[in-house]
């Protein structure tokens, strides 16, 4: 562990690293933890001694250079994957699958602090996060608008909440009936997930299919809330809810098999869980790792994807992945600011 390990999550700067663990057990113990769990389930939890409200470190971002981005699935391969999901839906294997691709380009940067500052200025989000842990080779920068799980103590109840996103367009007029149907499908899945760890009758949906605007696009968002049963651990919470419903599919177990078959590379931090847990106060905010960059050796990576249903137009789903990536990749390339 080195003095260079730090993180900026929830508006707080975390320094003076105490320990790094690769399990979830410490989250039920004590201290302030920065958490990154890959889509594949690799856990990194870092406990810090010095946690204070502070802005991001003021450092400049050096764009990745002239080399272009490559995709783990090109247009033809992505469209073919979407068509395969539609075939599996017709056969009754799944109802919906989120198909993703990972974009990569060379980069010589040593961390992502400058990129995080750029995204915070030009692409503000509800759950920004910067995790720089060179001691274990983890560098993640996220501008996620999507809540995987929050935790709070409310009137003596231990309450968790998730806010799945399904439905993306340039304007509200672009949100289609397919998007609304898909959002409701994922809400049902999130309700079932949370029901496994909630008190009887303790799950509700306070908001369904609300539109939220971000630079360059809008999202369709719902809220699912649950009161946890007594004694539930973080390992049990993750066992019931991870990976997030919105980035897998339904049924989740079948969708995960399809994802492994169709996607040629691991998603890594993309579509995982990124955020913080305050074990002392039993509070937390973990985002779904979308709109997320990470370093993998000398490569800067970024993920994008779309949910495929029977009503999907595979070409339109490809276009959605492009829309989600366009402005964020431009920011990484140092190209302009959103209008």
- Residues of 223-239 as b/e, b for ≥16 C-beta within 10 angstroms? bbbbbbeeebebebbbe
Average pLDDT over residues 45-65: 86
Nearest Cα to 143, choosing from 293, 276, 266, 310? 293
pLDDT at 225 over 70: yes
The sign of the torsion formed by the CA atoms of 175, 177, 178, 182 equals positive
Question: In this predicted structure, what is the pLDDT of residue 2?
Answer: 45
CA distances (Å), origin 212, targets 62, 145, 175, 219, 273: 31, 9, 11, 5, 21
The sign of the torsion formed by the CA atoms of 240, 245, 251, 252 equals negative
| pLDDT tier at 1, thresholds 50, 70, 90 | very low
pLDDT at 67 over 80: no
pLDDT at 60 over 50: yes
Q: How far apart are CA 102 and CA 265, in angstroms?
A: 7
Q: Report which DSSP code applies to 25.
A: G
Question: In this predicted structure, what is the pLDDT of residue 217?
Answer: 87
What tokens appear for 31 in the block? 């201290």
**Dihedral (C-alpha) 11, 17, 23, 28: value to the nearest 10 degrees?**
-70
Structural domains of the chain, ranges and CATH numbers in brackets: 6-58+70-332 (3.60.120.10)
**Dihedral (C-alpha) 1, 107, 69, 136: value to the nearest 10 degrees?**
-10
Helices within 123-251 (DSSP H only): 177-195, 234-241
Q: What is the pLDDT of residues 248-307, one digit of tens each?
A: 999 999 999 999 999 999 999 999 999 999 999 999 999 999 999 999 999 999 999 999
Question: In this predicted structure, what is the pLDDT of residue 25?
Answer: 96
Question: In this predicted structure, what is the pLDDT of residue 134?
Answer: 96
pLDDT at 338 over 70: no
Three-state DSSP string of 55-119: CCCCCCCCCCCCCCCEECCCHHHHHHHHHHHHHHHHCCCCCEEEEEEEEEEECCCCCCHHHHHHH
CA distances (Å), origin 285, targets 150, 263, 301: 4, 28, 24
Question: In this predicted structure, what is the pLDDT of residue 336?
Answer: 54
Task: Write the CB contacts of 224 (distance below 8 Å, at least 6 apart in sequence).
Answer: 161, 162, 163, 164, 187, 190, 191, 194, 203, 204, 205
Q: Report which DSSP code applies to 229.
A: P
Q: What is the mean pLDDT of the chain?
A: 94
pLDDT at 65 over 80: no
| pLDDT tier at 64, thresholds 50, 70, 90 | low
| pLDDT tier at 339, thresholds 50, 70, 90 | very low
The least confident of 73-77, 116-120, 137-141, 225-229 is 116-120
Question: In this predicted structure, what is the pLDDT of residue 108?
Answer: 85
| pLDDT tier at 181, thresholds 50, 70, 90 | very high
Question: In this predicted structure, what is the pLDDT of residue 279?
Answer: 97
Average pLDDT over residues 307-328: 95
Average pLDDT over residues 10-30: 97
pLDDT at 182 over 60: yes
- Strand, coil or helix: what is 157? strand
Q: What is the pLDDT of residues 147-163, one digit of tens each?
A: 999 999 999 999 999 99
The sign of the torsion formed by the CA atoms of 245, 246, 251, 255 equals negative
Percent of the chain with pLDDT over 70: 97
What tokens appear for 313 in the block? 């137009």
pLDDT at 49 over 50: yes
Q: pTM, whole model, 2 decimals?
A: 0.95
Beta strands in the chain (DSSP E): 6-9, 12-21, 32-37, 43-53, 70-71, 96-106, 127-133, 138-144, 147-154, 157-163, 165-169, 198-214, 217-228, 249-250, 273-278, 283-288, 292-296, 299-308
């Amino acid at each position: 562990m080195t003095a260079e390990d730090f993180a900026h999550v929830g508006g707080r700067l975390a320094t003076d690293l105490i320990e790094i663990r690769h399990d979830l057990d410490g989250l039920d113990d004590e201290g302030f933890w920065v958490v990154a769990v890959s889509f594949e389930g690799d856990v990194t939890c870092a406990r810090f001694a010095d946690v204070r409200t502070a802005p991001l470190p003021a450092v400049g971002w050096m764009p990745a250079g002239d080399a272009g981005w490559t995709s783990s699935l090109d247009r033809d391969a992505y469209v073919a994957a979407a068509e395969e999901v539609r075939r599996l839906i017709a056969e009754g294997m799944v109802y919906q699958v989120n198909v993703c691709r990972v974009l990569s380009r060379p980069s010589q940067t040593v961390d992502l602090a400058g990129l995080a500052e750029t995204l915070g200025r030009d692409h503000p989000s509800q759950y920004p996060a910067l995790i720089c842990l060179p001691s274990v080779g983890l560098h993640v920068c996220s501008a996620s608008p999507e809540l995987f799980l929050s935790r709070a103590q409310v009137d003596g109840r231990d309450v968790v909440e998730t806010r799945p996103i399904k439905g993306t367009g340039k304007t509200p007029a672009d949100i289609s009936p397919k998007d609304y149907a898909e959002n409701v499908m994922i809400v049902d899945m999130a309700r079932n997930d949370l029901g496994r760890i909630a008190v009887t009758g303790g799950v509700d949906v306070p908001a369904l299919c609300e539109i939220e605007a971000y630079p360059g696009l809008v999202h369709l968002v719902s809220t699912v809330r649950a009161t946890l049963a007594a004694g539930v651990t973080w390992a049990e919470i993750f066992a019931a809810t991870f990976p997030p419903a919105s980035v897998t599919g339904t049924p989740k177990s079948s969708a995960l098999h399809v994802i492994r078959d169709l996607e040629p590379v691991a998603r890594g931090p993309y579509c995982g869980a990124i955020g913080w847990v305050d074990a002392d106060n039993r509070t937390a905010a973990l985002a779904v790792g979308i709109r997320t960059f990470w370093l993998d050796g000398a490569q800067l990576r970024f993920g994008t994807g779309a949910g495929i249903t029977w009503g999907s137009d595979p070409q339109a789903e490809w276009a959605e992945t492009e829309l989600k990536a366009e402005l964020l990749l431009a920011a990484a390339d140092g190209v302009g600011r959103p209008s």
